[in-house]
Amino acid sequence: MQTFNNFMSLTCFPGTSDPCESTCLYILSVSPFIACNLCLSFLSKKFRRMVDALTTHLVVVLIICCGSQVRSDESDHRYKAGDPVPLYANKVGPFQNPSETYSYFDLPYCSPVHVKKKKETLGEVLNGDRLISAPYKLDFLLEKESEVVCRKKLTKEEVSQFRTAVAKDYYFQMYYDDLPLWCFIGRVDRHGIAEQTDYKYLLFTHVHFEIFYNTDRVIQINARTPQYVVNLTEEKEMDVDFMYTVTWRKTNTPFEKRMEMYSQSSLLPHHLETHWFSVINSCATVLILIVCLVTFYMRVLRKDILEYTHDKELAYSQEETGWKNIHGDVFRYPKHKSLFAAALGSGTQLFILTISILILGVFGVFYPYNRGALLTAMVVIYTMTSGIAGYSAVSFYCQLEGTNWDAFFVGLCSLRSASLILLLLCIEQLQHCHWVQLCVWGHRIYTIYVILFIVFIILLTVTGFVTVALTYLLLAAEDHEWWWRSFLCGGSTGFSIYAYSFYYYYMRSDMSGLLQSSFFFGYMACICYGIFLMLGTIGFHASFLFVRHIYGSIKCE
């Protein structure tokens, strides 16, 4: 046990007291160097032993990480009448700016006598949750009517703070027995008022909790605000009574299906038909593209290849033109080999990461509001696939006969450290669709992972075929520098998505403010950078197979 405590003390970072958070930071800092050490293992046995030691160390950390995530104070979710059921306040923030959130007690609400912070899991830490015990007591099956939480005298500063929050449409989020609930803190009365200076700012001081139960388990909770309001239009001191009401309703919904309500209310069913219609249209477009390219290949390339293979004397006597004329230069190594190999290695890892996340989503691992499950899976999978990036990058660099290993490792670490930011974001932003942006930057939860997986496969197919077509046009123009251009062609989708993000921000969303703008465009830049690396790798490999095939089918001196 003493050894274990010493080990945990070594993995803690300055300024962090939660072992789960420390484990997370440790994994994020170690994973890029695991890949580099794995690459070096090809060079000497000494480094191979170093990799074994680091890998063992990382596995132990992952076991501790996984063990820390299953902690739960109320794991069975079974209660008796009168038992306290945990209610945690998470955050407050403007409804139109989802990235701008604050702690619940940043607003001058009634604070409990003993503020209790929930022990957060790794996923909750990554998700930025701030779970603190709420001032409301919702004991199992105990109803309350207009129970007073506290009587508070608001100062002018506190009234101004509440008024600003009401003007920005602030809402609060809580979790009751791990079930999420939301409610606005107030409203602006604009009815029949033309001038903004005459608006009335009303603060809700009464929350009505309606809870549904089945035998000894909580199934659903709703929060609404009765017409108990305080007028905050004038900035003056005032006395406010914060109250709440609790009512219980019996339901036949089983505990195992209590999360289905959130799946159905997030994006289903009114958008499902539109989604499938879009997928069918995309599949038809891809099919037409494949047919056109295959037809072109059969009629043009096959004719040239047959001339070389069946009539050698005629092929040697004729002057070579087009793509056949550069057969001696087409496999000449590209410039900046170290950077190119590092980009391919990082793109390969991001591709495997994305595929793994989508497969887990298809099998229902990420059910709605399973706090931090997606981010936790990203951290673990990213760490486990670090060696894949190093191996693929080093193997390709060796094929290019690279010798500048120092520059190569610097480039590999730089690319992969930048792509690490993707772990904090949703990989679902692979198509610049309005409904996907709503899920990522809005309050909807996307749950149709099957459609998302199909769209991702379509995206890969289109990227590969379009890159092959443009690579052939380069070769036909007797341009042998196709390596970087095929990578840039495949990764250009990232630029188009980032360009669309400007249109979405200014034309389709209600987001505003410097903080939200910084979050939106900064995160979108990181996401599009990852998409650029991933699709660029796909485009290059498709072009590489194409070039090897066509030049391997002809016989030249």
Residue 475 has pLDDT above 90, yes or no: no
Taking alpha carbons only, the member of 135, 141, 142, 94 closest to residue 516 is: 94
Q: What angle do CA 269, 422, 50 make, to 5 degrees?
A: 135
The β-bridge partners of 246 are 144, 209
From 154-163, 268-277, 457-466, the region with the lowest mean pLDDT: 268-277
Q: Which residue has the higher pLDDT, 59 or 88?
A: 88
């209600």: which residue's tokens?
Answer: 510
- Residue 519: the pLDDT is 84
**C-alpha to C-alpha distances, 141 to 179, 218, 225, 247, 248, nearest whole angstrom:** 16, 10, 21, 8, 6
From 255-259, 308-312, 364-368, 456-460, the region with the lowest mean pLDDT: 308-312
- Edge to edge, what strands does the sheet with 217-224 contain? 144-154, 238-250, 206-214, 217-224
Dihedrals φ, ψ of 470, to 5°? -70, -30
State mean pLDDT over 405-424: 51
Cβ neighbours of 5 (radius 10 Å): 9
Q: What angle do CA 506, 511, 517 make, to 5 degrees?
A: 80
328's CB contacts (< 8 A; 6+ apart) are 556
- Helix or strand run (H / E) with residue 152: strand 144-154
DSSP single-letter state for residue 13: P
The β-bridge partners of 250 are 213
Q: How confident is the model at residue 324 (pLDDT cuts 50, 70, 90)?
A: confident
pLDDT one-digit tens code per residue, 477-521: 888 888 999 999 999 999 999 999 999 889 888 888 888 888 889
Taking alpha carbons only, the member of 186, 152, 154, 190 closest to residue 172 is: 186
CB 153 within 8 A of CB 237: yes
The β-bridge partners of 153 are 239
Q: How confident is the model at residue 532 (pLDDT cuts 50, 70, 90)?
A: very high
- The dihedral over CA atoms of 438, 490, 524, 408, expressed in degrees to the nearest 10, equals 150
Polymer length of the chain: 557
Q: What is the DSSP string of 406-417?
A: HHHHHHHHHHHH
Supply 2's token pair.
Answer: 């003493």
pLDDT one-digit tens code per residue, 60-109: 444 444 444 433 335 568 899 999 999 999 889 998 888 888 889 999 99
Supply 75's token pair.
Answer: 């794991």
pLDDT one-digit tens code per residue, 175-192: 999 898 889 999 998 876
User: How far is it, in rounded angstroms, from Cα 80 to Cα 32?
Assistant: 49
Highest mean pLDDT among 54-58, 500-504, 535-539: 535-539
Helix axes 19-40, 405-419, angle to 10 degrees: 150
Quote the mean pLDDT of the chain: 75
Rounded to a whole number, what is the distance in angstroms from the first to the last CA of the chain?
Answer: 71
- Residue 209: the pLDDT is 95
Residue 7 has pLDDT above 60, yes or no: no
In the chain, what percentage of residues exceed pLDDT 70?
69
CB 424 within 8 A of CB 375: yes
CB 108 within 8 A of CB 4: no
């609930």: which residue's tokens?
Answer: 181
3-class state of residue 241 by DSSP: strand
pLDDT one-digit tens code per residue, 200-227: 899 999 999 999 999 999 999 999 887 7
Taking alpha carbons only, the member of 230, 224, 243, 245 closest to residue 158 is: 230
- Edge to edge, what strands does the sheet with 186-189 contain? 186-189, 200-204, 229-231
From 182-186, 382-386, 410-414, the region with the lowest mean pLDDT: 410-414
Cβ neighbours of 415 (radius 10 Å): 23
User: How far is it, in rounded angstroms, from Cα 395 to Cα 414?
Assistant: 18
Q: Which residue has the higher pLDDT, 174 or 64?
A: 174
Q: What is the DSSP string of 313-334?
A: HHHHHSPP-GGGGGTTTTTPPP
pLDDT one-digit tens code per residue, 9-35: 333 333 343 444 444 444 444 444 444
Q: How confident is the model at residue 415 (pLDDT cuts 50, 70, 90)?
A: low
- Residue 144: the pLDDT is 93
**C-alpha to C-alpha distances, 175 to 93, 183, 505, 542, nearest whole angstrom:** 16, 12, 30, 47
């063990």: which residue's tokens?
Answer: 67
User: How far is it, in rounded angstroms, from Cα 284 to Cα 277?
Assistant: 11
- Residue 393: the pLDDT is 83
3-class state of residue 171 by DSSP: strand
Taking alpha carbons only, the member of 351, 383, 380 closest to residue 491 is: 351
